Structure 1
């Protein structure tokens, strides 16, 4: 599933995220998410883990308002990879705002 996501999926960029998504038939649960932070840009695991925790929380808070209403009553599932491509550790508030933009655009792109 991960190989097909990266080889066949569509992508877009909203700083500090690069989003890769793929519509799939009959996926349970409806959305599966993969989060990644580059080891090349953030050498210390502490910083990578901090960014992944912030990304996960921003996604959790925003998904019910932005993404799930757009996917409601659809006959497909969504594989989603969110890559952090920023060069520095951003505040949670900025990451959350950008995640809302990402999920809003993702809802528009999948319709």
Structure 2
């Protein structure tokens, strides 16, 4: 599977985002807060849809928020196939995920890579149980 992050993998539907935050489950692996919602009916082109966000309250300048989001997308893109997609394919479910950055300072790529790895492993464990 290609290591890409296409438009079909991004969560854009306002209805799905509202249902995700209204009835989804969540956990925190610092510096990420993850909200996820499993859907039994397979619909849409991608089994996992993700939204990535950084708080404007913590990072006032847009270029800081954009850099963190860019790093988060990259570490997610590099690890999603091995850690998340295999588990979702086994269960034949649709998964909506919101990954929020809740840290107070900008972290470097290597640290974010390790934290995203822990986050995706915990998410895979949560959906399998």
TM-score (norm 1): 0.97
Structure 2 equivalent of residue 27 of structure 1: 43
Structure 2 equivalent of residue 63 of structure 1: 80
Structure 2 equivalent of residue 82 of structure 1: 99
| C-alpha separation in 1, matches of 2:87 and 2:111 | 23
In structure 2, the gaps of 5 or more residues are 1-15
| C-alpha separation in 2, matches of 1:81 and 1:72 | 19
TM superposition shift of 1:12:
0.2
Equivalent of 1:16, from 31, 36, 42? 31
Q: CA-to-partner distance for each residue in 1:62-105, whole Å, 9 max, x for gaps?
A: 10111111112323100000000000000011011000101111
Structure 1 runs of 4+ aligned residues shifted over 4 Å read none
C-alpha root-mean-square deviation of aligned residues, in Å? 0.8
Structure 2 equivalent of residue 49 of structure 1: 66
In structure 1, the gaps of 5 or more residues are none
1:21–1:79 contact (8 Å) kept in structure 2: yes
Structure 1 equivalent of residue 122 of structure 2: 105
| C-alpha separation in 2, matches of 1:53 and 1:14 | 19
Higher relative contact order (CA closer than 8 Å, sequence separation 6+): 1
Structure 1 equivalent of residue 55 of structure 2: 38
| C-alpha separation in 2, matches of 1:105 and 1:41 | 25
Q: How many residues align?
A: 111
